[in-house]
Structure 1
Amino acid sequence: MALYLVLTTIDGSLPEKTPELVDWGSLSLITSLIITSKGLELSGIFGRLAPRLVDRANQSGKRLLLLLLPTIAFSSAVIMNDTAMLVFIPLIVALSELSGLDKEKTVTLSAIAANVGSALTPIGNPQNIIIWREYGLGFSTFVVHMLPFVLPWLGLLLVFVLFSPDESLSVESLPPVALRVNLLIVSAFLLGLNVYLGETGRHVLAIVITLVLFLLLERDVLLSFDWALVLTFAFIFIDFNEFSYLISKAGLSLPTGGVKLLLASAGLSQLISNVPATVVFIGSRPSWLPLAVGVNAGGTGIIVGSLANLIAVRIAGVSLRDFHRYSIPFFVLSLISSAVILLTT
């Protein structure tokens, strides 16, 4: 209300009605997908996968990374990048303690892989969910348009691995992880259902069904879910929707397309993180593809660019210097490649 009164014009008239400060539709869909991702995490499906990757690596750290990073990227496209970090980073930390694997390098490249993989689908991260819902895009449409950018990013990440020194792993096996089949089935069903409901605009129904099914069938998912994360996203929508509105009322203009939008959204993501940056730019209704590419590339740079980075560093105890030693060069190169692709398409 205070903001509304401040924006009263000089002649005493009131400005046009402000937009709804919280995008409840996007918040509902984000929450339902994060809860579903928590169900997939607790099912143990990814914990069962990790030992197999170690076995296939044949005690080679480089080979393990070449197997692990695409797995994290693919997982992030399905269960969101933040959840992928919660699943894989503890395994990486345990593996580094047992085998001598370079924890700093592996954690940083894993965080980059999570951000890269999540960029591919509209359910891979919160900023994509916001763009997907706001522009009414089809699931396959989003994937097809993002694929020419995500593939070079993933290729660049693997080049980083290939040119890094190899390490000899001493771990022969990891303890087995139990697979909860019923939880896996329920979570996979809800994931598919939430994608469908998201595409058809029934976002509130998605969160209602998700809560009811987990409450009736797998209550521990709701009990172990970090509800403070939902409040965090709610505050993001409130704060940065106001900021976007102020920019509009001040007569300032933000880039609305092309390489300028790509660079501006990626740059702003380095300052306030990519989800708030998306909220700021989306108020001016820019072209969705340069915005999506920019905010997703922005998540791979400075640690604050993505919540997934903060989760990875916090769990693993990696220093900012070690993280940025890999993330900033990757960010610069990925941004250059993205600008070239955008100019030539």
Structure 2
Amino acid sequence: MNDTAMLVFIPLVVVLSELSGMDKARAVTLSAIAANVGSALTPIGNPQNIIIWREYGLSFLAFVRGMLPFVLIWLTLLLAFVILSPYETLSIRSLPPVAFRRDLFVVSTSLLALNIYLGETGRHELSIALTLLAFLLLERDVLLSFDWVLVLTFAFIFIDFNEFSALLLKAGFSLPTEGAGLVLASAGLSQLISNVPATVVFLGSKPAWLPLALGVNVGGTGTVVGSLANLIAVRIARVSLRDFHRYSIAYFAVSIALMIAILRI
């Protein structure tokens, strides 16, 4: 999934930027865009796709067939952004010494297996308690350096927005249900409340699945709020919002313009 990809790749991107002298903000932003548009292809690539896939009862291949032409366009556009960006002169620096904590590795690996088992058997509270206790005793810095703001943001994004959707419909708001209007509206709302809640809001009006999927997926490439993957990338890399938006907004504007042009043909 796109969020997991950011947790894995952004630390690597940051280290490579520091070692080579390349523009960290540019590398991080383009990586976040790549994760957002790349994950759009399959129904299990990101949370909004999973919601749409489940809601409409689509087959795996039907979902991929619908998204494939647009994902290829988004990736081609991303490649153009990379090629047309100013050339960077890189200078490889010496690698810093790396300390390997065998005890942390063993404990973390064991906790991962144990937490999966406890989660599958419905003992989530015990899983959390054991994890906190292990790191409290072994390495408190793991807990002290934990990004609690990101966790709270994650919790907010996955709040059930069904009630919000129902309130809009009761108030007489007419949400678009197909075509370019749906793409624009869902992409725009994603910029304000993130693309997962935006998906839930639009599901209440029973829209066509493909324009909705296109809108919320391309909507993840705009503002930092557009996708949780963006927030993860910015928080881990400590990139300024100004630097992030310098690249992401430009990509979003061009990609949404292409989408509307294609859908109106």
What TM-score do the two structures reach when normalised by structure 1?
0.60
Instruction: Give the counterpart of 2:5 among 71, 81, 84.
Output: 84
Cross-structure match for 2:76: 155
Root-mean-square deviation over aligned CA pairs: 3.3
1:43-122, aligned counterparts within 5 Å? 80-122=1-43
2: CA distance, partners of 1:282 / 1:163: 38
Q: Counterpart of 1:299 in 2: which secondary structure?
A: helix
The yes-or-no answer on 1:146 pairing with 2:67 is yes
Cross-structure match for 2:85: 164
User: Which deviations, in whole Å up to 9, do the C-alpha atoms of 1:8-33 show, x marking residues without a partner?
Assistant: xxxxxxxxxxxxxxxxxxxxxxxxxx
CA contact (8 A) 2:179 2:211 kept: yes
CA contact (8 A) 2:220 2:227 kept: yes
Could you say if the C-alpha distance between residues 109 and 210 of structure 1 is closer, same or farther in structure 2, counting changes exceeding 3 Å? Answer: farther
Cross-structure match for 1:280: 201
1: CA distance, partners of 2:6 / 2:207: 30
Deviation at 1:94, TM superposition (A): 0.8
1:178-257, aligned counterparts within 5 Å? 211-212=119-120, 223=131, 235-236=156-157, 238-257=159-178
Could you say if the C-alpha distance between residues 140 and 332 of structure 1 is closer, same or farther in structure 2, counting changes exceeding 3 Å? Answer: same
Deviation at 1:289, TM superposition (A): 0.4
Deviation at 1:240, TM superposition (A): 1.8
CA contact (8 A) 2:48 2:196 kept: yes
* Equivalent AA in structure 2 for residue 109 of structure 1: L
2: CA distance, partners of 1:232 / 1:319: 18
User: Which deviations, in whole Å up to 9, do the C-alpha atoms of 1:287-314 show, x marking residues without a partner?
Assistant: 0100000001111011110111111111
Could you say if the C-alpha distance between residues 332 and 121 of structure 1 is closer, same or farther in structure 2, counting changes exceeding 3 Å? Answer: same
CA contact (8 A) 2:159 2:197 kept: no
Cross-structure match for 2:53: 132
Instruction: Give the counterpart of 2:249 among 309, 312, 328.
Output: 328
Deviation at 1:239, TM superposition (A): 4.9
Deviation at 1:171, TM superposition (A): 3.0
Structure 2 unmatched runs, 5+? 106-111, 133-145
Aligned length: 236
What TM-score do the two structures reach when normalised by structure 2?
0.78
* Equivalent AA in structure 2 for residue 333 of structure 1: V
The yes-or-no answer on 1:267 pairing with 2:223 is no
Could you say if the C-alpha distance between residues 320 and 338 of structure 1 is closer, same or farther in structure 2, counting changes exceeding 3 Å? Answer: same
Deviation at 1:226, TM superposition (A): 9.5
CA contact (8 A) 2:154 2:228 kept: no
Deviation at 1:99, TM superposition (A): 1.3
CA contact (8 A) 2:180 2:260 kept: yes
CA contact (8 A) 1:93 1:103 kept: yes
Cross-structure match for 1:28: none
2: CA distance, partners of 1:317 / 1:233: 18
CA contact (8 A) 2:161 2:201 kept: yes
